[in-house]
Amino acid sequence: MQRRQFLRAAGLGVAGAVVAKPAIAQSMPETKWRCAASWPRSLDVLYGTAEVFANAVAEATDNKFQITVHAANEIVPSLQALDAVGNGTIEMAHTASYYYVGKDPTFAFGTAVPFGLNSRMQNAWQFFGGGMELMNEFYKKHKIYAIPCGNTGCQMGGWFRKEIRQPADLNGLKVRVGGYAGRVLEKLGVVPQQIAGGDIYAALERGTIDGAEWLGPHDDEKLGLAKVAPYYYYPGWWDGGATIHNFINVDKWSALTPTYQSIVRSCSEKANAWMQAKYDTENPAALRRLLAAGAKLAPFSPAILEASLKAALDLYREVSATNADFKKIFDAVFAFRNEQYLWWQVAEYTYDSYLIRNRTRV
């Protein structure tokens, strides 16, 4: 092959690195899937990640494999995406695994658990620490094959209608909180509420809930939460690095050609990186705007963090004693986290902490 021809073939991306694009396209079957996203279109990064993925698949297959993304509640209720994929109503969903802890608390590990992995650790565990294999062994029981397709980074601790200073201030509050954190906060007297993102503002405005966590400054600003609950707390200790997944029906996944499976994996990985890079870009400016508009930013007190950690560890022990799937993955995740922090405290944390203290000197 001449050098020019080789370079042209090498530039064709996942679908054309070896064979010319037209030849590959001709051998690809026409395939159309529907993807139910658990997000409204207004949340442009979450919903946008699903579109980035779908567009990448179409581009890599010369539009032979088309995935139509549907926003929350268009074809499937936001929090029922898992069931729709598992029973074959739709081929796939872009969703958060921990939305489904009501079925089994083990689902939480796919997204994030209280005081668990940060986003880089989550990616490392999923892709190189055996996490995808462990989670897919569990997901298979629900007829799901899952691929990471986004990470939010560390989230915020949420918006409250009144100040939260001590653990006792949480007692009796109704708080919209996703995933496993609700069960931890129950131990501190919180009454957790599972509410889809698009419904949070109305619930706060009506006073049917006292607080709500969603994600971070960019999304929270879009939802307008500061207008109805001004006290903004951090960090979101239950979402240190929340992974979003493509949930795919196992039979539909198995029916794909090896080439299509490879393309779906590659495009999921592209979207996975895109989401966090986008949030990292958008969150600083959004936080400045929220503060300028009157948001009252504060850290959770050490007393609240300590009480929350104790409650989380107690709950982990309780559930591990009765749920073998949960214990197996809990042991793997926290062994991985503890090993990771041996490294982070040497270089990553030291580097970041020094520059945070000195960022205004440049």
CATH topology of domain 158-239+286-323: D-Maltodextrin-Binding Protein; domain 2 (3.40.190)
DSSP string, 43-102: SHHHHHHHHHHHHHHHHHTTTSEEEEEE-TTTSS-GGGHHHHHHTTSSSEEEE-GGGGTT
Helix (H) or strand (E) holding 235: none
Token pair 């549907």: residue: 70
Does residue 183 or residue 2 have the better pLDDT?
Answer: 183
Q: Averaged over 73-90, what is the pLDDT? A: 96
Contact of 275 with 244, CB cutoff 8 Å: yes
| Pairing, β 158-160 against β 231-234 | antiparallel
Q: In the predicted model, is pLDDT for residue 21 greater than 70?
A: no
pLDDT in tens, 311-326: 999 999 999 999 999 9
Q: Among candidates 57, 77, 48, 107, which has minimal Cα distance to 264?
A: 57
Q: How far apart are CA 43 and CA 311, in angstroms?
A: 32
Residues in a beta bridge with 233: 158, 298
Question: How many angstroms separate the CA atoms of 114 and 232, rounded?
Answer: 19
Q: Coil, strand or helix: which one is 195?
A: coil
At residue 25, the pLDDT reads: 56
The pLDDT of residue 196 is 84
Q: Rounded distance, CA 269 to CA 256, Å?
A: 18
| Segments in the chain forming alpha helices (H) | 3-10, 21-27, 44-60, 81-86, 108-111, 119-128, 131-139, 181-186, 200-206, 217-223, 250-255, 258-292, 302-320, 324-344, 348-358
Neighbouring C-beta atoms of residue 171, cutoff 10 Å = 11
Overall average pLDDT of the 77-98 stretch = 96
Mean pLDDT for the stretch of residues 268-288? 98
Same fold across 3-151+241-281 and 158-239+286-323: yes
Statement: residue 26 has pLDDT above 80: no
Pick 3-151+241-281's CATH classification: 3.40.50.720, 2.40.30.170, 3.40.190.170, 3.90.1150.110.
Answer: 3.40.190.170
Name the residue ranges covered by the structural domains of the chain.
3-151+241-281, 158-239+286-323
**DSSP codes, 109-138:** HHH--TT---HHHHHHHHHHSSHHHHHHHH
Least confident of 2-16, 33-47, 134-148, 151-165: 2-16
Q: Tens of pLDDT along 91-138?
A: 999 999 999 999 999 999 999 999 999 999 999 999 999 999 999 999
pLDDT tens digits, 128-187: 999 999 999 999 999 999 999 999 999 999 999 999 999 999 999 999 997 789 999 999
Nearest to 13 by CA among 194, 230, 288, 263: 263
